Structure 1
Amino acid sequence: MRPGPLPMTRPSHPGQHIPNPTHPRRRPDLTLPLPQRDLTSLAVPLPLPPPSAPASSVPGGLQLPMATSACAQTPELADLERVRRIGSGSGGTVWMVRHRPTGRIYALKVIYCNHEDAIRRQICREIEILRTADNPYVVRCHGCYDRAGEIEILLEYMDGGSLDGRRIASEPVLADIARQVLSGLAYLHRRRIVHRDIKPSNLLINAARQVKIADFGVGRILVQTMDPCNSSVGTIAYMSPERINTDLNEGVYNAYSGDIWSFGLSILEFYLGRFPFGEHLKRQGGDWASLMCAICYSNPPEAPSTASPEFRSFIACCLQTEPRRRLTATELLRHPFITRTQPPVADIAVSTV
């Protein structure tokens, strides 16, 4: 049974950005029109810092970094030794790196770009804002380097990799994963930070079975304007209907509820072991036009009848066509699917599909 209208907290939208008067122009005679930014709805999809996490071992006897204060000094780039490549894409490469003075291990995201200096500086400033966050369910960002046209971002290393391609059929285990991700989302949304690209590949796990929100697709922001809040950052397959088709919902896009749609789709994918709208539509080279039509005009995906009533209700509370009917992250944390069981003691048993 589909739920009726559900309450949803609408985030506020404060006024326009006011330039900082402590930074006078060097050339008062020069002007440059800049887009207005809503800094309280910062929508740069970057990994954010959690607090402390226990050290754990990784292959080769390397030591994972003990978490430090979110405002700790950024390690010198020259002190980072590249150990091996752990990921790559069109926007850049991710390396496992060792901090020589301490032996600690990090992930270093290297973004290749040739944008003008002003845009690179803006990106680094936004990363510095994000690294002040402090939550155990988001990946720590330790700092940013701007070197020779490259932007390099130092991140917490998650030795278990992403949850992309995993099937998680156990509802108690899935509830624990959902609880961790929702806790991270609730924290970000309270700080008026919108992720905009929640999907299985951006949910990482470590040896302690901690699940954290990240985004290894950060290179996408470099091809956008300096107003990422209004740009098409994100993966189409996990976008909400009103984000793809701006005619829906009377042209109003609530980015916070958009994150909830993407989250619900990801959780349902874990349970099914396949993309809810069709595996052939998800991957690159698929029929994107058909996928977008399915997202915008078909009924939202539902959990199968074999699932528990609590799980079916939980998914329905996320995958509502009307954004105002989706529960917020804080409300979802109180849903019976999350609260009915204690977090599983055993390791998360997941299978690759």
Structure 2
Amino acid sequence: MDPALAQIGKYRIERELGRGAMGVVYLAFDPVVERRVAIKTIRVDDSSAAGLADFLRREAKSVGRFEHPNIVTLHDAGDTGELFYIVMQLIDGQTLYEKMTQQRWFKLAEVVDIFQQVLAGLGYAHQRGVIHRDIKPANIMITSEGVVKLTDFGLAKFIGSGATASGSIVGTPSYMSPEQILGQTLDPRSDLFSVGCTLYEVITGEKAFPGQSATTVMYKILHENPSPPTSLFHGIDPALEKVVLKTLAKDPDAGFQNSKDLATALAGCLTKSAMATAGNEEQTISLPVEPQPAVVSRSETGASAVAPPRKKLSGRSMAVIASALLVVILISVFLAVERAISQRQSVALPAKKTVESPPERHPEAPVSRPKVPARADTPVEAQSRSAAPAQTKARPVLPSPAPAVKSDVKRPAAGQPAASPQQVITEPEDFHSLVMRGDMSFQQNHYATALATYQKAYQMKPGDSSVRRKLAVVLTMLGRPEEAQKYR
């Protein structure tokens, strides 16, 4: 915290709450209303932070007119000449990201409750023409009472306002929708894709599209499907998995069309799970037990608590138990007789001594030598080859030498050096091979090579939509958004 910063406007600064790319957040006190608030600030006198200040002003405009229990409340905003700030509701709780680090697994009812509140807040914003564009666990707050609050509308955009003017990609890569990566005009369904990425991470503990770099993550979002949640954790409800995978559909028309539809589908998962649980309880069979007399215990207060005696077994249950015991006795007798017979036979017939002859050795087989342990710095592949044990005792018969084949290659004249044979390897130039080579270059961040390869493939099939998307992405990554627009 800046020691010189003791007050912003009428608000007295108490301490710093955190720092990030969007500025500094302080805990402050409002002396007029007598309440603690959170103040998010960004310096406007720094030319490098001018763009970030615009994000903060956008958040003030988009959230300032919201009044919803699942969206953080914005109390005030102002400009001191050096700082632009917004005053927000101080939330006593933690982010969903923090909760995920502390709580490894979530119950289905808890997951449905959290995301129904998220969707309620999003639906409210969408109805008022605002897209969040940065839904992720760090921007979802959960109060100590379990109330969910959407925060950080700094990247929010009004519906129908078009794509980003500069053609740049805005958002957090792991939670961005395909149309967001491509810089296309967004609608509320983009936020639902981000909700799906967050939901996937909550129920599996893994990101839907993992990757070591932003480009790898964005490539997977555009071209690869996520692993089914049940393949990562078998305890996930199948109905919930179906909802998650539909939310992560590449085509917006194939996913959920609004927040209400997704919330209804999540509620349906909870209903199906409750019905299945009830059905399992009805089908549960309790094993019969011996009747016990009533047990009398005395509590700490001195009052006695009498446990009722257990129910007596019915005649049918007794018959089942008797039959089971009889089967066990018969099996035991049979095994004892078999054991006695086998022992008698082993005494009567002594085992014959057998002399093992040494295995035949092929005349050309090399003499076996003791194994030498692999060195620590030996490549894994080399170690695996040297350490592979022989599967058969006998050495396989060596193939007979192949007959000599007459060669048409002319021998060099005396005194002339022999020409070294060279093999010219030409890479395939068919459409699918070019696309595959372009994908490999893109994943290795070789964007220029990927662009040239995609362009060759596009010349073969100008109408292929997947190649058009790839060209748009790689041109965007190369900082050429104007050219990328031609392929969108």
Residue number in structure 2 paired with 1:197: 134
Q: Please, which runs of 5 or more residues in structure 2 have no aligned partner?
A: 1-6, 273-488
> Aligned partner of 1:244: which letter?
I
> Aligned partner of 1:202: which letter?
N
TM-superposed CA distance for 1:124, in Å, is 4.0
Equivalent-residue separation in structure 2 for 1:119 and 1:92 (angstroms): 8
1:1-353 paired onto structure 2 within 5 Å? 77-114=8-45, 124=57, 127-128=60-61, 130-165=63-98, 166=100, 167-215=104-152, 218=154, 230=164, 232-245=169-182, 253-278=185-210, 281=211, 286-304=212-230, 306=234, 307-327=236-256, 328-337=258-267, 340=270
- Residue 122 to residue 211, structure 1, CA distance change in 2 (3 Å): closer
**Aligned residues of 1:107 and 1:156 also touching (Cα < 8 A):** yes
Determine helix, strand or coil for the equivalent of 2:96: coil
Q: Deviations over 1:121-144 (max 9, x none)?
A: 996477245311211111111121
Residue number in structure 2 paired with 1:36: none
- Residue 131 to residue 341, structure 1, CA distance change in 2 (3 Å): farther
Equivalent-residue separation in structure 1 for 2:54 and 2:248 (angstroms): 37
Equivalent-residue separation in structure 2 for 1:184 and 1:111 (angstroms): 26
Equivalent-residue separation in structure 2 for 1:190 and 1:155 (angstroms): 22
- Residue 189 to residue 294, structure 1, CA distance change in 2 (3 Å): same
Equivalent-residue separation in structure 1 for 2:270 and 2:204 (angstroms): 21
Determine helix, strand or coil for the equivalent of 2:87: strand
TM-superposed CA distance for 1:102, in Å, is 3.5
- Residue 243 to residue 194, structure 1, CA distance change in 2 (3 Å): same
> Aligned partner of 1:79: which letter?
K
Bigger Rg over Cα: 2
- Residue 117 to residue 340, structure 1, CA distance change in 2 (3 Å): closer
Determine helix, strand or coil for the equivalent of 2:78: strand
Equivalent-residue separation in structure 1 for 2:52 and 2:19 (angstroms): 23
**Aligned residues of 2:39 and 2:87 also touching (Cα < 8 A):** yes
TM-superposed CA distance for 1:108, in Å, is 0.5
> Aligned partner of 1:230: which letter?
T
Q: Deviations over 1:165-221 (max 9, x none)?
A: 4144211101000100010111111111100110010001111111111117x3x79
**Root-mean-square deviation (CA), in Å?**
3.0
Q: Deviations over 1:234-272 (max 9, x none)?
A: 1122111222135xxxxx543311100101100111112
Q: Please, which runs of 5 or more residues in structure 1 have no aligned partner?
A: 1-75, 222-226, 247-251, 343-353
TM-superposed CA distance for 1:233, in Å, is 2.8
**Aligned residues of 2:170 and 2:180 also touching (Cα < 8 A):** no
* TM-score, normalised with respect to structure 1: 0.63
**Aligned residues of 1:205 and 1:211 also touching (Cα < 8 A):** yes
- Residue 121 to residue 85, structure 1, CA distance change in 2 (3 Å): closer
Equivalent-residue separation in structure 2 for 1:138 and 1:300 (angstroms): 30
> Aligned partner of 1:127: which letter?
A
- Residue 118 to residue 277, structure 1, CA distance change in 2 (3 Å): closer
* Alignment: residue pair count: 249
* TM-score, normalised with respect to structure 2: 0.46
Equivalent-residue separation in structure 1 for 2:249 and 2:114 (angstroms): 21
**Aligned residues of 1:137 and 1:183 also touching (Cα < 8 A):** yes
Equivalent-residue separation in structure 2 for 1:316 and 1:230 (angstroms): 28
- Residue 99 to residue 334, structure 1, CA distance change in 2 (3 Å): same
Higher normalized helix content (fraction of residues): 2
**Aligned residues of 1:257 and 1:323 also touching (Cα < 8 A):** yes
